[in-house]
């Protein structure tokens, strides 16, 4: 009984501290991800652990630094341009509604004036809401920019923790093993190994699908000569991650509004781009998930959808992680299902 009380207390403390320790948790996860490369340098090139960790950590810094540089420079430039042009874009959108109302009024003299005035007031209300949305979005962009210094502090803690954890990872493993029985340690090692493999596979699958979507969208938008193409491609990718929305919630309305405003070439091009992205993703998605995740595409889809519905954005990752964890614990014999209906 005392043993279970201690375990429950430790779990409660861990859950309480988890929201405040995310940089450390991500550092540990990254260290486990980089560990095979560190061991490869140690074994094949006979480097000391400190030298191997320094080499892999330096390479990781270079990759992250280059990615951040291009992402931040391009993203900030185009976000500023996008935020400046967004009110004009929304005004054009409501102008389409105004034109439709005026056209309807000219061809519908038999309709009571009260109904026409009511519709016009509704259009003005929508226009006001859209402009208010644009203003709030611009303010949100400025707000998130002000959060960058705080993010940099957390990121610095993450990098320092990553380097130190990578150096002491073998010691941490040995220290953990002292408090576990051999059977428990073997099961835990199997669960952690399978969960890490599947978790990394899920991240790789999502990253690969998002990368393909981003480049297809970016290429299509550049061919259509759309301004702020990088930002719009990034928005399409973010929306596409959400299981309820998808790329069609951005490209299709955008295309319809463009056609209504007289930009038929742009509108048709956007709808064609939506069809291309959808077809390509539907072809490669099952293969990518089954290869990287280790669970069926249907299980992955259900876990992602339910995770998002219950927990929001973080549920996109927690949902599949729970499915993978349960499957791994069943394989390890920790959880046993033996019943028939």
What pLDDT shows up at residue 316?
64
**pLDDT confidence bin for 318, thresholds 50/70/90:** confident
Say yes or no to pLDDT of 56 above 70. Answer: yes
Query: Higher-confidence residue: 75 or 21?
Result: 21
Say yes or no to pLDDT of 340 above 90. Answer: no
Say yes or no to pLDDT of 298 above 70. Answer: yes
Write down the mean pLDDT value for the chain: 77
For 250, residues 6+ apart whose C-beta sits below 8 A from its C-beta are: 232, 235, 236, 239
At 157-182, the pLDDT tens digits run 999 999 999 999 999 888 888 777 77
Average pLDDT over residues 126-141: 66
What pLDDT shows up at residue 156?
92
Query: Higher-confidence residue: 110 or 196?
Result: 196
Kindly report the length of the chain: 341
What pLDDT shows up at residue 59?
94
Say yes or no to pLDDT of 314 above 70. Answer: no
**pLDDT confidence bin for 252, thresholds 50/70/90:** confident
**pLDDT confidence bin for 205, thresholds 50/70/90:** confident
Distance CA 184, CA 190 (A): 10
247 sits in the region (left: phi over 0; alpha: psi -120 to 50; else beta) called alpha
**pLDDT confidence bin for 239, thresholds 50/70/90:** confident
State how far the alpha carbon of 221 is from the alpha carbons of 242, 249, 266, 275, in Å. 21, 16, 9, 14
Say yes or no to pLDDT of 87 above 90. Answer: no
Say yes or no to pLDDT of 301 above 80. Answer: no
Distance CA 267, CA 295 (A): 39
Average pLDDT over residues 32-60: 91
What pLDDT shows up at residue 188?
76
DSSP string, 184-247: HHHHHHHHHHHHHHHHHHHHHHHHHHHHHHHHHHHHHHHHTT-TTHHHHHHHHHHHHHSSSS-T
What pLDDT shows up at residue 13?
78
Distance CA 55, CA 1 (A): 47
Query: Higher-confidence residue: 310 or 272?
Result: 272
% pLDDT > 90, the chain: 16
What pLDDT shows up at residue 82?
62
Say yes or no to pLDDT of 260 above 70. Answer: yes
What pLDDT shows up at residue 227?
77
State how far the alpha carbon of 40 is from the alpha carbons of 44, 72, 234, 238, in Å. 6, 33, 35, 35
Average pLDDT over residues 112-133: 67
Quote the DSSP letter at residue 114.
Answer: H
What pLDDT shows up at residue 181?
78
CB count in 10 Å sphere of residue 208: 15
Segment of 67-71, 119-123, 229-233, 320-324 carrying the highest mean pLDDT: 229-233
Query: Higher-confidence residue: 243 or 282?
Result: 282
């Amino acid at each position: 009984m005392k043993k279970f009380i201690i375990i429950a207390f430790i779990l409660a403390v861990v859950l309480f501290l988890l929201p405040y320790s995310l940089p450390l948790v991500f550092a540990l996860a990254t260290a486990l991800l980089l560990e095979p490369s560190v061991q490869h340098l140690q074994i094949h090139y006979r480097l000391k652990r400190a030298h191997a960790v320094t080499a892999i950590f330096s390479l990781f810094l270079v990759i992250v630094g280059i990615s951040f540089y291009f992402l931040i420079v391009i993203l900030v430039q185009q976000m500023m341009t996008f935020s400046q042009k967004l009110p004009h874009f929304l005004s054009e959108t409501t102008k389409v509604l105004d034109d439709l109302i005026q056209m309807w009024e000219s061809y519908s003299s038999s309709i009571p004036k009260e109904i026409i005035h009511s519709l016009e007031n509704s259009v003005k209300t929508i226009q006001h809401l859209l402009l208010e949305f644009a203003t709030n979005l611009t303010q949100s962009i400025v707000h998130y920019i002000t959060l960058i210094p705080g993010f940099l502090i957390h990121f610095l803690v993450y990098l320092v923790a990553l380097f130190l954890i990578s150096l002491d990872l073998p010691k941490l493993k040995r220290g953990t093993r002292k408090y576990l029985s051999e059977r428990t340690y073997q099961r835990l090692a199997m669960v952690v190994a399978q969960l890490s493999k599947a978790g990394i596979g899920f991240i790789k699958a999502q990253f690969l699908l998002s990368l393909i979507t981003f480049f297809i969208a970016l290429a299509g938008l550049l061919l259509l000569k759309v301004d702020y193409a990088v930002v719009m491609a990034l928005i399409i990718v973010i929306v596409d991650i959400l299981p309820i929305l998808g790329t069609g919630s951005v490209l299709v309305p955008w295309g319809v509004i463009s056609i209504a405003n007289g930009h038929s070439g742009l509108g048709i091009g956007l709808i064609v781009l939506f069809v291309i992205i959808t077809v390509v993703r539907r072809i490669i998605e099952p293969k990518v998930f089954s290869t990287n995740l280790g669970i069926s595409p249907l299980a992955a889809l259900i876990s992602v959808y339910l995770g998002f519905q219950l927990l929001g954005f973080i549920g996109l990752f927690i949902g599949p992680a729970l499915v993978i964890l349960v499957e791994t614990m069943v394989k390890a014999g920790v959880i046993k299902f033996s019943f028939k209906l």
